[in-house]
Copies of this chain bind each other. A is one copy, B any other.
């Protein structure tokens, strides 16, 4: 930091260091990058001066020149959602080690907003993007023409994007069906997410198909959809269980909604697991501590984030890097519900 003629704070520039060290700007630039075509002495002296002055390079200037700002754009649907928060953590940890910073924004599952966000990311000339396509079944955004490498996660994106890292939702549905069958439940229900996303469609489809193979029908009046909140799920479950007292098991779209469902069951005076069994999805860290502790289908959230980010950096660094699609297998975690 500096105080210039106007009395206003100004950032230290290479030029300031150069003047103090009596060398050219260029020499300073190279010295601070620890390049080796420069005298050891000079280099050391310059680095000390830079430290003294508290020099912090201007990323904008650097990006303008080098076309890279070491930033990865991330678009997720919701920040305040344990599932995505955990994925984000994985992404962050992966890229931090590789010298990148993430610019993460949330779309709120809104296509217009997602589009705006993508423009913001491009305006900032991020080196690559990781995207959770909002409402993927109706999403027509064209990620391939963003001009930067991208990977979609959690959902493929409607155009079958070049590279995606997802969890197998069909399999999640099948796992749920197998689970309910194996514990002898014959009257299952499904409480899903009310937006056009493939994970909801696939989970329901896998659930339904596999149940049928076991000779268990999934009645259409036992399939409901609502927003992914505690409250909405609470209301939906209350309604469902009041209407239909035969239901003995519910597969719920995610753990956040499951918490609402658990509470609804409690308030209705039903008991878990004797009257009814609940299976959530995602296995967020809270699930283990709910009362009763929630059975769930685990998705490797952190790893999905970490791996996809590592892959993206690979693509950024070497455009001939082979594009991969990775599908993780979910895992059944049985607890008290």
- Residues of chain A touching chain B, judged by Cβ–Cβ distance below 8 Å, are 1, 9, 11, 54, 56-61, 63-64, 69, 79-82, 85-86, 88-89, 92, 101-106, 119-120, 122-125, 145, 147, 230, 234, 259-260, 262-263, 266, 285-286, 288-293
Q: A264 → chain B, closest Cβ, in Å?
A: 9
Q: How far is the CA of A259 from the CA of B294 in the complex (A)?
A: 13
Complex contacts, A63 vs chain B, CB 8 Å: 60
Instruction: Give the complex CA separation of A31 and B167 in angstroms.
Output: 47
Contact between B125 and A11, CB atoms less than 8 A apart: yes
Q: A58-B123, A262-B289 are in contact. List 4 more A-B contacts (CB 8 A).
A: A58-B64, A81-B85, A92-B105, A104-B104
Cβ of A64: which chain B residues have Cβ within 8 Å of it?
58, 60-61, 64
Is A230 touching B286 in the complex (CB atoms < 8 A)? Answer: yes
28 sample A-B contacts, Cβ–Cβ < 8 Å, listed by A number: A1-B147, A11-B122, A11-B125, A11-B147, A54-B145, A58-B123, A59-B123, A59-B124, A60-B124, A64-B64, A69-B124, A79-B79, A79-B85, A79-B88, A80-B85, A80-B86, A80-B88, A81-B85, A82-B82, A92-B105, A101-B103, A102-B105, A103-B103, A230-B289, A262-B289, A262-B291, A263-B291, A266-B291
- Copies of this chain, count: 2
Whether A120 contacts B147 by the Cβ 8 Å rule is no
Q: Which residues of B contact A56 (CB under 8 A)?
A: 119, 122-123
Chain B residue numbers with a CB within 8 Å of A82 are 80, 82
Shortest Cβ gap from A334 to chain B (Å): 17
- The residue among A60, A89, A120, A259 with the most chain B CB atoms within 10 A of its own CB is A60
B59, A147: Cβ atoms under 8 Å?
A: no
Closest Cβ of chain B: how far from A227's Cβ, in Å? 13
Q: Name the B residues within 8 Å of A293 (CB-CB).
A: 263
Q: Which residues of B contact A292 (CB under 8 A)?
A: 291
- Asked whether B69 lies within 8 Å of A79 as measured between CB atoms, the reply is no
Residue of B nearest to A258 (CB): B289
3 shortest interchain CB distances as A-B pairs: A80-B85, A60-B60, A60-B63
Q: A261 — nearest CB in chain B belongs to which residue?
A: B289
- List chain B residues, Cβ under 8 A from A61: 60, 64
A59-B123, A230-B286 known; A92 and B106 CB under 8 Å? Answer: yes
Which of A59, A260, A262, A288 is packed against the most chain B CB atoms within 10 Å? Answer: A59
A260 cross-chain contacts in B, Cβ below 8 A: 289
> Is B290 in contact with A291, judged by CB distance below 8 angstroms?
yes
Among residues of B, the one whose C-beta sits closest to the C-beta of A122 is B56
Interchain CB contact under 8 A, B57 and A230:
no
Considering only CB atoms, which chain B residue lies closest to A2 in the complex? B147
Chain B CB count within 10 A is highest, among A102, A104, A124, A263, for A124
| Minimum CB distance partner of A71 in chain B | B124
A145 touches B263 (CB 8 A): no
